Structure 1
C-alpha cells in the first residue's frame, strides 16, 4: 500500500469541484478555452501516438493493473477502454464547465466501486493488500502518464514547447488534476518538480510488472480483442518511449529492427502530419468545442471524428434531456 495512503473522500471531491468552478472565467468555453496551451496540445490527433505509452506506464503500477483486470474490459475489448478514457478526458478538456464537472462527478462515483486486493506480491505491494481507485497517489500516477505522454506525442510531430509553454501547460493541467480528484497538495509544484516526480516513480520500487500486467500490455500492443490493427512502427515507437527498465520487465523486444522502425517513424511522421487537413489533424472533441464557442453547428466530419476518439458522435451533456445527451462514460481505470 502507498506509504502516504490518501483516500479522496466525497467532501474532498466536492471541494475540488467548487475550486474548478471558481477558476472558470467562461463556463461556455470550459475549464481552459481556445487560447489555452491545453487546447493547443490536446487538440492534436498525434496524441494517439502516446496512448500506448500511457497505457503501459499505468499497467506498471500494481494497483492500476489489478483494477483494470478486475474492474474493466481491457483484456477483451481494449478499444472500449481507449474510448472510455478519451471520452472522460476530452470532455473535461473541451466540454463546457458543466460537462467537465459532470464527467468528474461520474468518474468519482464509478471509482468508489473500484476496490479490491492485489492477487500476488508485486513490487512493494504484498499479496492481498487492498487498493482503491479514489486514492490520491494512484490517481496522480494515472494523471501523470496522460499529461506527460500527450506532450511526448505532441513533440514527436511538432516543434517542442518553450520552457514557458511547458510550465503553462503543466500549470493548466492542475485544473484537470482537480477533476481527476487529485488534491492540490499532492501535485508537484512546477513542471521541473513534475518531471522529477515522474522520473522518481519510474525508478522506484513502487512500480513493477508481473505476468498479469505483462499479458495485458502485450494484448494492448497486439490489438487483441479489437479489429483495429496496431502497426509495427507504433509498437516500436511505444517501446522506445518507455524506460529501459520497463522495456525489460514487460518483455518488449527493442533490437535493431525495432530501433530502426522507431527512428524511421520519427522522421516520416512530422512530414506527413504537417500536411493533414484540419478535420483529420485535429481531434473531434476540439472541433466540436470550436464549433460551440463560435456558435456553429457540429458537422458530420466532426461527429465521425468523435466516434473514433470517444465512440460517440458528441461530447456528453451535463444532464439528460439536453439535445444530444448520451450515456456518461465508463471508468478510466
Structure 2
C-alpha cells in the first residue's frame, strides 16, 4: 500500500516519463527559452536527468546535509538563467515562481501518470498524501508554499488551464528535436532513443504531441497500450533493489562537502 511520496518516488519506472515532463516544461516559453539559451541538456540528457532526480531524491529521502548540497547545486545552475524582456524576448528567470510552479506541476503530473499506468489508480487517501508531499520539492527551493494549489481538485483546474494555453513555439520544437534526435548520438543513445521517443509521444497529451510534431497513429496507440500492460505485469515483480536502483545510485553519488 502506498502511504505517500516516500513509497512511490523511488520507483525507477517513473523515469519513463522523463521526456514527457521535459517537453511539457519547455512548451512554456518562460521555461523553454531559458533552456534554449542557457542549457546544454540536449547534448548531455543523462546529466540533466540525474541532476533533476538527485534533487528530488534528496528532498524526499536524503539527509539534511544532502539536501543542503543539492539545493546549493541547483541554485548555482539556475543563477545565470535569466533575461530581461525586450523586443525579441518575453524574458525569463529560473527563479521565477510561476516557472518553478509549472516545472513542479509537470514532475507531479508525470509521476502520477506513469505510476498509475503501472500500479493502477491510487486511492484518494494515498493520492492526497502524495500531492501534499510534492509541495516540498518546490518549497525546498524558492517556490512559495501558497502557490502550490490547495488540493488535487485545485491542481486539476490549474493544470487544465495551463494545458489549454500551451503550444510549443519554434524554440521549444527545436529544443525537443535536439533532445529526441541528438545530432551525433553515442551508442547508448542509438539504442535507447527510439524507445524514449515512443514513450514520450505516448505519454504526452494529444494536443501537445501534435504541437511538437511527434508522429502518432492508431497503430502507435495500440502498441503503446500493449507496452504499458506488459510493463504493469512485469515491473512490480522486480526486486526492490532493482526498482529503487537509480535513487540509490544518485544519493550515493551526491557529495555533501
Could you tell me which residue of structure 2 aligns to residue 220 of structure 1? 179
User: Are 2:122 and 1:155 equivalent residues in the alignment?
Assistant: no
Aligned equivalents of 2:123, 2:219: Cα separation in 1 = 33
With structure 2 as the length reference, what TM-score do the two structures score?
Answer: 0.89
Could you tell me which residue of structure 2 aligns to residue 264 of structure 1? 226
Which deviates the most, 216-225 or 92-101?
Answer: 216-225
Relative to structure 1, is the Cα distance of residues 150 and 75 closer, same or farther in structure 2, using a 3 angstrom cutoff? same
Shift of 1:233: 4.8
Aligned equivalents of 1:233, 1:176: Cα separation in 2 = 28
With structure 1 as the length reference, what TM-score do the two structures score?
Answer: 0.70
Could you tell me which residue of structure 2 aligns to residue 165 of structure 1? 126
Shift of 1:127: 2.8
SS of equivalent to 1:149: helix
Deviations 1:11-31 (A, max 9, x none): xxxxxxxxxxxxxxxxxxxxx
Aligned equivalents of 2:3, 2:206: Cα separation in 1 = 34
Could you tell me which residue of structure 1 aligns to residue 44 of structure 2? 77
Judge conservation of contact 1:78–1:223 (CA < 8 Å) in 2: no
What is the 5 A alignment of 1:92-241?
92-116=59-83, 127-204=88-165, 207-222=166-181, 225-226=185-186, 227-228=188-189, 229-230=191-192, 232-241=194-203
Question: Which runs of 5 or more structure 1 residues have no equivalent in the other structure?
Answer: 1-34, 120-125, 289-305, 321-333
Alignment counterpart, residue 43 of structure 1, candidates 3, 6, 10: 10
Could you tell me which residue of structure 1 aligns to residue 244 of structure 2? 282
SS of equivalent to 2:92: strand
Could you tell me which residue of structure 2 aligns to residue 299 of structure 1? none
Question: Which runs of 5 or more structure 2 residues have no equivalent in the other structure?
Answer: none
Q: Which has the higher helix share?
A: 2
Shift of 1:82: 1.4
Could you tell me which residue of structure 2 aligns to residue 65 of structure 1? 32
Relative to structure 1, is the Cα distance of residues 175 and 313 closer, same or farther in structure 2, using a 3 angstrom cutoff? closer
Aligned equivalents of 1:175, 1:89: Cα separation in 2 = 9
RMSD value over aligned CA atoms? 2.3
Aligned equivalents of 1:175, 1:245: Cα separation in 2 = 30
Could you tell me which residue of structure 1 aligns to residue 22 of structure 2? 55
Shift of 1:261: 1.9
Shift of 1:118: 7.4
Aligned residue pair count: 253
Aligned equivalents of 1:284, 1:234: Cα separation in 2 = 17
Greater Cα radius of gyration, structure 1 or 2: 1
Shift of 1:183: 0.2
